[in-house]
A = this chain, B = another copy of it.
Amino acid sequence: MSSRTAADTRDRIVMAAKAEFAQYGIAGARVDRIAKEARTSKERVYAYFRSKEDLYAFVARQELAVVAAASRMDPTDLPGYAGRIFDFFLSHPEHHRLVAWGRLELGDNAPAPDDPLMAAVREKTEQLRKAQEDGYLDPSWDPFDVLPLVHQIATSWAAQPELAHVAKEQARTPDAAARRAAIVRAVQLVFPATTRDETASR
């Protein structure tokens, strides 16, 4: 097997695993279904990933990087960041399920010190702390509260998909653009954006 073909196989496994985990969770996922969907064998899956749990950890890590790259946290414009998170989840509803399964199935034990999610949180919190020092963000907030609040507001609809059905029937304006605007407005009220240029030139 050429290394190109091997890389393709691995990519197909990861893609199939992502869909399988999002749908069924970790315990409910079946490696033979993943193998079949990826047009390979169960044995090949285990050649790349030692266990189903390892495969989940890989997929979850990769997804974390994807959402971080798509949403680009900017401490001077948290409403804009929230809007990008909203957009990401609107077009990738399976991402939220993938993460939610892990939270439930892996429990809330303290993550390992080298856990990539924790490293990402630490790095972003540090950026927020720096933004407070530089006058871009109200320093009276504990910087540690900022990220969880912004993430929660931004995922209001992704996290409560059952409410989207009621929205169709009840909301004054039922489209996604209206939900997005409400999210951006809420974050703007809590953590107003500071235009870097404005601050720099005044």
Contact = CB atoms under 8 A, between A and B. Distances in A.
A54 interface: no
A24 to B, nearest CB: 9
A150 to B, nearest CB: 10
A155 interface: yes
A197 interface: no
14 contacts: A97-B104, A104-B104, A108-B161, A110-B165, A118-B166, A125-B170, A144-B167, A144-B170, A144-B172, A145-B178, A148-B163, A152-B155, A152-B156, A190-B190
Interface of A: 25, 27-28, 93, 97, 100-101, 103-105, 108, 110-111, 117-118, 121-122, 125, 141-145, 148-149, 151-153, 155-157, 159-167, 170-173, 178-179, 182-183, 186, 189-190
